[in-house]
Structure 1
């Protein structure tokens, strides 16, 4: 058993913050959380006096392990750009679990990620929910698959336009997505299906049955509106990815209770769809009642800087508690794992990080990271 003692615990739930608290960890789970009232003598004690203890942060959209930083083609497995419709691909099959970014993530307090294919395709494949530390690389898969990645906008147009193939326009983007969903919906009504087609359509069927969300890349307001129309037509669980101009269609998002995984924000306006990129968007979404979580889109923003994005949004008007929620409780809830992750509570998984100062202070460092009760040890040291 492990006892973390003496720190200020930001529980991120109704318990609020606990000064001079004690967290007992047994195996993979939190056994108890409370004020300092003693602990068993046989515990491994971690002294967190003068420090902040929080739940591990969750990056709900990135390409960690799929798009490696120090490689070119040999480490780039993020886009299978040979066919615009590839729902049967699984990101888990392209992950390099020794990617240097996993250690970087833990240095920034990020203990889990939803890693997914890129946005070259209309339907790119299935995301995988990863933990950033485990006893062996094979144990780093937390949930698989966990959502189906799709995309609208400029990226599919550019990739397939260069190949002189459909899609060349936003109209074709939407048409291909509709066609794939329509064909899969018809497959649902057949008594028998060929094994190959069942395999290729399986992820789409899960989306149509609301067994997994559609994670749809859309920056511009017009693409978000197209996504919402398709969501209405097929009655999907939709989460907008990026949402640079989501504040322009906030009423439509709120009406449908559609959330946004917001980011990357710590970037320049690298393409026309990024014209409105701003840290003020988070505050605007919060004021409009839109549910959101911050994302890095790693390696676009290095995954360890997830907390920096949240902090800069506070500078631009977002409530500090809401900013912390947007990297802890909100992604956990939106990804359907709030019973296990996102806050420091008895019975939840022991994903914990200790900072030597407030996590939004740029001078603060992670002094300990724990994933499923295992204390991170850097394999490179």
Structure 2
């Protein structure tokens, strides 16, 4: 048996002791010793396999699973905004131990409360990781339900205002996250949708925001051409390739600048140029770090910095503070003695004067260390030489 053979390892471990003894032609004591050796020898391979699989499925995991006690706390807060008629829903949630429980029509409680324009309850539940694009048995998601209600002529204006408030709560929540679904929804609602339709259909299949048409044009270039400021904002926030050039070597910025010369929509084109330019400047700092994590040889780092990778993609800020640990990515890299990441963050001008949970800045943390590694970094901090490496 080869030491790194996963098949051999799992086959041996699945046998009972009698079968294993017969298989290996050893006494029970010797068989036990071999099992121990298999476990120890195979650990690196098993860990590598687990790490590889975890990256493939991490996006498909349930957003959050709450313990019974946590669920009780959530429900106790929700009860304050519900009438007694919703006790059956509460019972179903508690019985199934699932905040995201679906009824026979595949509605969750948030969809029900949207339909009843319960603003306080919707605002309360929107803080939890519901799938805002989940479709019920009729094929409607939360946004579809709101539109149906808002177009109901039998509702008076006061009720419609409540519906619109519920919509805004959900919209703001979804807009602040990264989501291909939200990009698709924004395109569909745009008055220029007919211009995006071909690329929209491609995105539905591929979930790739950087799809191009036969002329090599992507969505950002289309939106820039048609002064579609809202679509530009959403595309840029969701990391569309802002430097992409079509077959005439035109980028989104060059298209907007060209249109600015003669169009009456001057303000819109100026705003588009600013949005894309700002994004280009910010991504100059952030993208090398994301590329660093995407590099195959650095994939194991996803285990150590998952919150920060999400924050980087969401905020485009390399100095964003993780609300869980109250550290910046540089704080975390120093704590983990991650030299490669420290060097990259240093080169990308990560800030060193942000205090962590213990109110200590990077320089203050380094000053307390005696190892030569930290002493060298301390000298780099004093000189502020961003070209130096540890």
Pick the TM interval, shorter chain: under 0.3
Structure with the higher helix share, 1 or 2 = 2
> TM-score scaled by structure 2?
0.27
> TM-score scaled by structure 1?
0.27
